[in-house]
Structure 1
Amino acid sequence: MDTNISRIIIRKATQKDSVAVQRIYDNIHTEEENGRATIGWIRGIYPDARTIKDALERQDLFVAETDGKIIGTVIFNQLQVDSYKDAPWQYDALDSEIMVMHTLVIDPSEKGRGLGKEVAKFYEQYALDNGCHYLRIDTNEKNSTARSFYKKLGYKEIGIKGCTFNGIKGVNLVLLEKKI
């Protein structure tokens, strides 16, 4: 495993980054379709071009780049999905104190280099910089890789809720939380 990370830059995405973000989404969909990843996303449903467009309009889409190449993408905001309502959160925080990370994707060709950990570190600092001490994340129950990753970073699974998630029916959504 190559853990030598060139200088990684995480920044808000611009319209010109759309093609690179779509490429990353396409790559992760291909990995899933070929059985090399189990995330629970479906090409043409989520994440897709609409995901990019909406996040750019909200100005909460970020990209991670190294050596001038965009190698990851993520959304940070305070939007809690409907499945978060009535969840058994361990912290009774105000919405204004909560930051949510959505749709973290590192290009599959870059996996194993610690880039996801760098993005997660950035997320925590971004949350603090925006006055948020409570972090929330969700992932599909099938996504054992993400579940293990978040556990190593100190996130606690607080429950699993069945739902239709971004147009994908029958998802068991794992809800995770961390206080920083």
Structure 2
Amino acid sequence: MIFRKASAADVSAVEEIYNDIHTEEEKGGLMTGWIRGIYPTRATAEGALERGELFVLEDRGRVVGAGIINQDQAEAYAQGRWVHELPPDRVCVLHTLVVSPAASKKGYGKAFVCFYEEYARKTGCKACRMDTLEWNSVARAMYRKLGYAEVGIVDTELQGLSNVSMVLLEKYLG
């Protein structure tokens, strides 16, 4: 497994993962809460690439996962009951973590979160934060197993999705 910053050549692979997730959601096989054409889209990946925030997980020459890593805490994060009050430059945030449905159940999601935590440490952050939609029970269970505490569920509008119940998660790195 190789984790790296994405290049322009990776955007199509990331978009394909987004589309595969949307297809699984529409078939009832996944419960992310995302909506095709609204979020995430190719523009999501392109914007993150332009900002230098898009990372990919490559295995055997194929992009099987991606995520956006930055320090951007969504407005709704202000409603969280964060255990650790830290300056914004000491908090790292993971957005839009995806693993190809064709590569699920192989530990890629867990590996990506571990990469994210190591990246946060290397950049001087003391806490990792993220969010997921309330009904995404698979993601919530994985994050719980990885030591993330749920610090609130807030109703918000996010990335063009309205009436979103977003679970806020935090892990202190020390």
TM-score, normalization by structure 1: 0.95
What's the counterpart of residue 46 of structure 1? Answer: 39
Q: Is 1:103 matched with 2:96? A: yes
Q: 1:80, 1:15 → 2: CA distance?
A: 25
Q: 1:86: which partner in 2?
A: 79
Deviation at 1:50, TM superposition (A): 1.5
Amino acid at match of 2:15: Q
Q: CA deviation at 1:167?
A: 0.5
Which residue of the other structure, out of 157, 164, 169, is the alignment partner of 2:150? Answer: 157
Q: How does 1:1-180 map to 2 (within 5 A)?
A: 8-180=1-173
CA distance in 1, matches of 2:75, 2:86: 16
Q: How many residues align?
A: 173
Aligned partner letter, 1:11:
R
3-state SS in 2 of match to 1:85: helix
- 1:175 maps to a residue whose letter is L
Write the distance in 2 (CA, Å) between the matches of 1:49 and 1:128.
29
* Aligned alpha-carbon RMSD (Å): 0.6
**Larger CA deviation: 77-86 vs 144-153:** 77-86
Moved over 6 A (4+): none
Amino acid at match of 2:88: D
CA drift at 1:86 = 3.5
Tell me by how many angstroms 1:45 deviates.
Answer: 0.5
* Deviation for aligned residue 1:52: 1.0
Q: Aligned to 1:119, what secondary structure does the other structure show?
A: helix
Runs of 5+ unmatched residues, structure 1: 1-7
Between the two proteins, what is the percent identity of the paired residues?
A: 46
Q: Determine helix, strand or coil for the equivalent of 1:135.
A: strand
Normalised to the residue count of structure 2, the TM-score between the two structures is 0.98
Which position in structure 2 is the counterpart of 1:5?
none
Shift of 1:168: 0.4
Asked if the contact 2:12/2:42 (under 8 Å) is kept, the reply is no
